[in-house]
Structure 1
Amino acid sequence: MIQRIQTVYLVIVILVMAALYVWFPIINDAEGAVVISNSEPLVFGMIFGSIVLAIVSILSFKKRQLQFVINRLNIILNFVLLGVFVYRSLTLSGETLVSEKGIGVLLPIISIVFLVLANKAIKRDEDLVKSVDRLR
C-alpha cells in the first residue's frame, strides 16, 4: 500500500532534498561574479541521488526489506552530503557576499531524521506481517 506513513516521510525527504537542490548556494565574490568550486557537480549528484533513492523506495512498497535497504543507503548518502557541507563551510577562506553557513547544512540532517522514521515504520509493518503469519 502506498498510503502508509513511511510514504509520507519519504515524500518529506524528497521535498527537503528538492529544497536543498533549489537553495544550494551560488557563491558570488565581491565583484558579483559567480564562483564555482570543483565539488559542485558532486554535491548536485548526491542531492539528485538522494531524491532518486527516495522515489525508488516509495515505488518499492511491496518489498519492505528492499525499501529498508534503500533507505539505509539514502541515510549513508545524506551523511556523506552532510560531511561535504561541513568540510566546505570549514574550509571557506574569508567571507563571501552570500554566506554558505546556514540552513543548507541542516537540511541533510532533517532528511536523515525522516529516513530513520520511515525505516522505523517499515520495521513496524514487517513485524506486524510476521506476527500475522505466525497466527496462521
Structure 2
Amino acid sequence: MIQRIQTLYLLVVVIIAGIGLFWNFGDTFSLIILVGVILLSFISIFSFRKRQNQFVINRINILCNLILLGVFSWRMLHSSGESLLSEKGVQLVVPIISIVFLYLANLAIHRDEELVKSADRLR
C-alpha cells in the first residue's frame, strides 16, 4: 500500500487539505468540503485493492476540490479590498495543489491497471 506512488500523492493531498483546515479559510461550508477531501483521500488510500473504486473516489475528490476552488474564488472576488494582498489569494493554492496531486494519483492508478491487464493477457 505505502510503496505505491499514488498512495504518496494521496498523502500529500491529505497534508495540503489538513493545512487548509488548520489555516481556517472561513465559513462552515468550506471547512466541511475540506474535511470531505481529507476523508475521501483516506478512503482512496485504503481501497488500494480496488483500483477502479480508487479511481472514481479520486474523481469525486477532484470535483470537491473544484467546488472548493469556486467558493474560494468567489469569496476572494467579493471580499473587501482592505484585506492584505498576500493573504487574499493564498487560499486558492490549496485546491489547485490538491487537484494536481489527485490527477497524478489517477495517472498512477491507470498505469497499475494497465500493468495488471497486460499480465493477465500473458497467462
Residue from 86, 91, 109 that aligns with 1:122? 109
- Counterpart code for 1:92: S
Runs of 5+ unmatched residues, structure 2: none
- CA-based RMSD of the aligned residues comes to 1.6
Count matched residues: 123
Runs of 5+ unmatched residues, structure 1: 27-39
Q: Write out the 4+ residue segments of structure 1 that deviate beyond 6 Å after TM superposition.
A: none
Q: Aligned equivalents of 1:25 and 1:81: distance in 2?
A: 11
Partner of 2:79: 92
Q: Aligned equivalents of 1:49 and 1:7: distance in 2?
A: 18
What percentage of aligned pairs have identical amino acids? 56
Q: Aligned equivalents of 1:44 and 1:58: distance in 2?
A: 21
Q: Aligned equivalents of 1:97 and 1:129: distance in 2?
A: 51
Structure 2 length normalisation: TM-score? Answer: 0.94
Deviations 1:80-119 (A, max 9, x none): 0000000000011331379741321111100000000000
Q: Aligned equivalents of 1:97 and 1:121: distance in 2?
A: 39
Q: Aligned equivalents of 1:71 and 1:44: distance in 2?
A: 19
Write the mapping of 1:1-136 to structure 2, written as runs, cut at 5 A: 1-25=1-25, 40-96=27-83, 100-136=87-123
